Structure 1
Amino acid sequence: MSFKYRFIVSFVLLEVFFIVLIVSVNFIAINNSSNKLIKEQIESNITFLEEMLKVPLSIYDLATMDNLLYKTEELRHIDSIVVLDSNKKILSEVYNFKHFSLDELITFEKDFKYEIDDENYEIRYKEIKEDETQLGSIYIVFDTSENKQFISKNIRNTLSIIFIEILFSTLLSYLIGSRLTRMLTNLSDVAKEIGETKTPEIPYKNNKDEIGVLANSLNKMQFDLKTRREKLKLLTKDLEEQKEELIIANKAKDDFLANMSHELKTPLNSINIISSVMVRNKEENLSEKDVYNLNMINKCGHDLLYLINDVLDISKLEANQIILNKEDINLKLLIKDITEIFKPQVTNKNLELKVSVEDSIKFIHNDKQRIKQIVENLLSNALKFTAKGKIEVQVKDKNNFVEILVKDDGIGIKEEKLEHIFDRFKQAEESTSRRYGGTGLGLAICKELSILLGGDIKVQSVFGKGSIFRVFIAKNEEEIKALENIDKKDNLDIKEKTQTVLILNKNPINMFKIIVGLNQYLNVEQVNSIDDFIESKKRKNYDFYIIDVENEDIEKIEKIEEKEVLLLVDKNKIANSLSKFETIDKTLDSKEIIKQIKDK
């Protein structure tokens, strides 16, 4: 129901209620007052007749009685009078009552009322006594119809007036409600237009009533909104410009991180590989101090490499550039391989490492390297923060997920620090970073990677007693291929060491790890100049060719037939003319490069 009709109905109902209340009270008062007056008049007439009839009755003066009755009958409201002696014999009567015969009437020796149609009568019976001696009795019929008719007429007239008044009030309230509703509707339409960024003319601003106040409020709101929109446009423009600047800056940052990570990782890989080889001291030409220093170099190199990888990963996660390489994984074997790596470090710290994998867990379909990265990170933390006791790795089947639990008896984490443990660049305590090292990126990466793998990571910890990390990873069982095909990718194209590859390698240090990896599958021959490469290609047929591209060789490389030629390039610097060749981004990790070569 609209406001207008609610207003009309409410107004009329309220008015009807009070009118009915007032009229009802007045009618009751009038009716009671009228009945009281009639009753007093009846009692007065009865008393008068009783006194006047005592003497004629005592002497049987019938003429006086007749004369008295005729005179009394002329009084208002008296319809009939009958006088009887003590033996119930009629002595005198003036009888006009048409509804009962006289004989019927005198059978009633009591007062009663008689009503028929619009006629109302009150019959009174009274014994006339003198000093306890009954002289006779009298019947008087009072006609009260006039009083009742008067009240009924007043009721009808009052109801007519009420009806007219309600009709008038309804019409008046309709007119007022319509006008008020029309004004409110107009203001409502104006408010909608203002909300739609239009600038309508606001009516009723000059009104001195509440509508005028509302109109002026809308006018002020329109002005304020217009001012805010103008400010918002300017702010939006500034934000768009800042957004463009941030996009450019972010791209520059990503490019910088990618380039720097490649530039840093290349010499670091060489340092790590060479120091790893030298620390073995196979020729026994190094002193203990030299071996110790080489160990320190190797350790620091690996720490720096982890840091670079963490920064690069967090940058990729921020930019949503992590691409999952999902495959069928023998999880039991993967966990075994990971824990085997940590056993020497566990032994060196005199710790105990327990590993258990539920028998029901075999294969899952997900990103092997990212799972390995998460578990290695958690194990590395457990090893770092545990001085004595044990470290446990448990793998459990959880319906559509696997749960990898890493538990340690380490220093633990305070309860108030737990909610921030997965925040970037945060560690449980500032002293932790100083004492144990680290950037605070590891757990943040684990958290985001676990979500990317379709799961999550949870932590429980008691300060001073140890921590439990639970990683949930989606199985994706519906995507697991036939088991006999699981290792298929490891045997593509290069199944036996019967194939020979020619590699143009101008930087043996940079390519060292790749060459070592390829030597496990291929017969590798290397040249260090483009001219030697072209000459060797002419002299002998190789199964395929790999060129580590440098800028100065691009013109000569363009002339080589692309068949079976694979280029290692920096994709940020590749020339368009080389797009006819198959390429691999040499800024990738060496393991990924080897994998992609095998897949080619």
Structure 2
Amino acid sequence: MIQICITSRLSSLPVVVAYKKGYFEEFGVKVTLHVNTHHKAIMPLLDAGRVEAGEVPTIAYLQDSFLKKSKLKRIYKGIYLYHSPLSFYSRFQFKPEDLTRNKAYILPVPHQYSVERLFAEKFLEEYAPKNPVKVRYIDTPGFLEEKEFLKPSCLGLVSDPFSSPFLRNFQDFANTLELPILNSKSFFPSTLLAFSGDAVLKTGREISGVLLAVKKAIDLLQNTNQLSTGNLWEDLQLSHFYPHLRVGETKNLLNAHPLIQKGIFSYKGDATTLNPLLKDVYFRLIRRVIQPDAVKAAFDFDEILSALEPKKVFDVRKLSSFQEPTETKLHAPSQINYRKLNAVRHLIVDVNSVVLDILQGNYNSRLNSDETLQLDNRVKVLVNSMLDSFNAKLELQREEITELENLISILEIKLDRSAVDLQYSEEKYRYLFEFSREAIALVDADTGSILEANNQFRSLTSYTRGDITKMNIEDIILGNQVSNQLRFGTDLSSDTMLSLPDVEIMLKDGSKLEVDISFTSILLSPKKRYQVQFRPNSERKEQERLQHEFISNVSHELRSPMTNIRGYLEFFKSDTSLPFNTEHKNMLEVIDKNAKRLSFLIENLLKLTTSREKDKEAEVIEIFDPVPVIEDVIHMNSHLAKGKPIEWDLALKKGFFLRGIKFEFSQIITNLYVNALKYTFKGKIGISIRETNGKIEITVEDTGIGIDPNYKNQIFDRFFRIPSSDNKKIGGTGLGLSIVKSLVDKMSGEIFVESTMGEGSKFTIYFPKVNISV
């Protein structure tokens, strides 16, 4: 198992991509990734052999190369990870004369031995050669960069907009200065993948697999077309490795970022770009004379890259880069016999081991202690207690952070979805409002002022947008029909729906137009609006006139043949000389009852035409038991069920009484029962009667084709028939349920319908219960 230690900076992206894409497994290497906060924690882990590989700053690797170490303690180069187009950024554009030696400035860097540190020193030398300033360079983890950068004492930051995205909002000195260091257009090798000496000695072939996998990931990152279509951020879920970066920000970074296209992720690099920094700064920093050829050898990756070209696993120990370190003469540090050390040195060795464990992520590591009262053991006990307390607080903070991250993620998703839905709803509403076929105006419920009106309203009334914004709804609607119904400025918390037929409105030219108006309230907290629809009623009136005329003509035409039918029927019934048997007589009774029913329907059609005359002809009100009427209806219409596999479920309990006209009640049951028979091809039809909460409940239920829920509120309208192929085959006038609704209302009842497509329908009627003593 190869453990690779990386930072949470985007410079480690090739290693993360190789891990998430499964490239390590492709080359037969099992890898675990450990994310550390800082390069300073990775270097001692590599030096101690606690991890096999890690992301290290290029200059830190160079510094390590010239230290006298054994092969076991040495850090070996592997492959470049990140090249940065460095520049100097600041919160403001300062001038050389603004810098003073009396003030101590800070400048965040990824590592004391990093390209960014050398670049910052070189920049300040070129920018203010005659005015040297005091700058303290602070080793800063990636997630604290922005915080340190925004401090008042921070002079600036050396980085690029990819690894530090927040810098795009601040001053880039390369845009305004003509300094050699800022205009070199060079990409500086920032970090590389390095290996510990212990790993090289033990896992030579696995190391080559790691290098091949990372090289393949860099090739993928350079292919910006794949990134723009693959949506790398969402596919790989990289938030675990870069939690401090915003999701939207990282998407923009990874999707065809121009710096990626220019090659910031590259395993090939030109080390000569470092020469100005090394010549002027680095050698003075380490206070040691080193030959340029030695530096060149440290950054020579040609042998490793040539070995990786066949894309096959090999043993890196055969390469000279992993056999001969940079310095030709090395000597191992003296082998210390720790058994002869005193107690203090034992304590130092143990503490060092625990610190390395914690840097590696093992927060449960503790010092070995016993029950003695010696000073070193008492210190160990106190250190262990401190670590236990620290670990408990850390675990509690982790749980809180996890909960907050989950909550933030949920809130971000909901916020994004709500914003998109809101924008879509607003645009959709505005489009529907403006181009609706109905004339619509939006009115303030507080004052009655017209806020907006759509194109159809402006065409109907000839008012312009400028006219409308200066008008009140009562300026358009004549009379006091609206003010009596709606009181503007009161009761703004409740919904309002109001329909006003035959209302006159004033047009722009002074003429009048008769329309139907409907008000619908829209609650937009804390405001309330009315959406007012205007429909010219001339077409509606003409349709009503033609409808009444048609019904009247049809009814009168049906009366004459029906009179003849009933006359001949009475003749047959009264002629005793005709040889009728019992079955014939039953048939004549059925014909007689249906003829009476048809006559009643004709009378109802005539009543529809004379409803405006408010005919109040006296009718005989009866108190009757509904069960015999229901049984009679079932008997008269039994012939409609012939040939259908239908079962009847009748639960008719006698003893209940209703008030009304018995014949009209029979029309209610007849229409519901006949509909059930017509629309049920097989299954069951049920009729029941019972008492519920002091009312008589009558249900007619079937297992037929059901009612489309889109038309559920229209089935009681006159002449309405659901548009379907089944309805066309079955036929009908669309008056049955309309008559049922009007007769139920006349008997002070209520009717409800439940239906499911393909499963059937259930009509439930509630009538007031009448005691027999009344």
Where relative contact order (Cα < 8 A, 6+ residues apart) is larger, the structure is 2
TM-score, structure 2 as length reference? 0.27
Task: Kindly indicate which of the two structures has a greater share of residues assigned to helix.
Answer: 1
TM-score, structure 1 as length reference? 0.34
When Rg is computed on C-alpha atoms for both structures, the one with the higher figure is: 1
